[in-house]
Structure 1
């Protein structure tokens, strides 16, 4: 369950915010759908059905970029795509050069149009309807959303997307540079930190801070739950390890939201919080005494703190350790660099998170 004070931090009115560190690439041409289908982790319908969320994987199955793919119409009236991605430098090859390396003789044109667009996100309005979804659980504990009805779940509007990564995420919008989307006339204009708190509360990782390029595995980063993986499509870069994990592996880690607090009572609100650096180690520590006839080894492995804002953040944690903390057998500890102060991180499951079937518990 989310900490009770979290609702006081989140905006309660329809809100729109502009996002930074995001770029846009235009992908057009008669073979654009076929070209992207061979690279993205989800199927690309031809002709396009609408926008969607997806990812580019490395050949070894790790995430290079999580992306939003929007539909658009080119100046010549032909259908095309706009790729939104995190532009911050990382170990991954720059997306534009990576895509151009794969073009070869395909009838595809790729160009950077970041200077033409601003990226906005909107949430909190009842006018953004939810589509009921159920969940498919694989033996590996991979989870896939199943959408009800025949509607394209991500919407069909050009240069806009209904964000189905989690229940309540809202919409994603492209606007011409310097303009505001129509929603800005009726929504409150918030800050990017408001959006950060919103997605932390819903347990949604995004960009290189949370889904570390060339290191993150897609299912550990919740790409399966967020609808960013297709385990039944044809060949694409990174497919082999991803599908093998689906069929024969076990998901041992997930990104979950955490409450950051001083050791002791997690419900106590701390007035002043440090700015936690990215990717601090999170150590599981045993706090419950094991029965004498059942010695329990010291928990091994560490987690990583990802994006954070004040007392809440996202963390990549071992699921067995999360279960231990929720059962009050373990505690997660973080040591801040410089002063060596110890903090604790208490995880919770977002209310929308899929419940495993009884036989999988």
Structure 2
């Protein structure tokens, strides 16, 4: 597989192969746009809150909204999703509440809890470790005979982790119903892709593990949705695992503690501005579904109000008790943490909670 082998349905100007997307209804196309726009507005607000000291360190998703929303909407209701830390759009498709994500990035671990029955794991900060979790869920599903698929998502940096290779090898050997999504945004913090791997593409790594590998335009929400849906169907029906490389770009710093201007230039970023996933889908809607400036303004006003309401709800939440730092470490707290928690309670002048 070469860099030329890139599946695309809609080009950067919003011109699409209408026959290829005839199975995606107008309502679903609008849903995609709505979720992508909400993700961008939420992300913009979160960055603002972080700069004001009202949130902790944050990983921006700007530029990757199509990859996020496309893969999230392709999941079936009983499928499992294992996200990393830059998957807000996909998490919103699974019912994640924006106030909860604010709470999580505000340093309150209670915000990490996924919605009940969402079949979604919490955010995983440790790079690549959740691919093992996806494989474990898929193995359990196969043993039980459940007709479901499991999907993980991570960045290109995760492909240099041992967990990536172990997970793909295990999935290939045991023929598990799992799809590994790699959002290739070209940067692992400050490490560019060409220093991350010697292979021409990430998707070609799949061949070494005997699984399917495909490469898709990650800024084309239609191409993402169609590819992920097809491979999830294959995982459910035939227990065939797959690796999907979504070619996209990280438009902002790695996190708010990073300064990307130290290692990349505007000349590197500029070409990707013209491929913006939100602008691309908007152009398509204007050309094919009568979208206009008035509808755009109405939608942005509605979604902005929702984001602002979630900020108010987040800042109205009671602060976590100091001892909660112990409560989220183990299912059953070990003796040494029990002792530490007890010492803290005594220092606070409280009894056991």
For the aligned pair, the TM-score class normalised by the smaller chain equals: under 0.3
Greater relative contact order: 1 or 2 (C-alpha under 8 angstroms, separation 6 or more)? Answer: 2
TM-score by length of 1: 0.27
- Structure with bigger strand share is 1
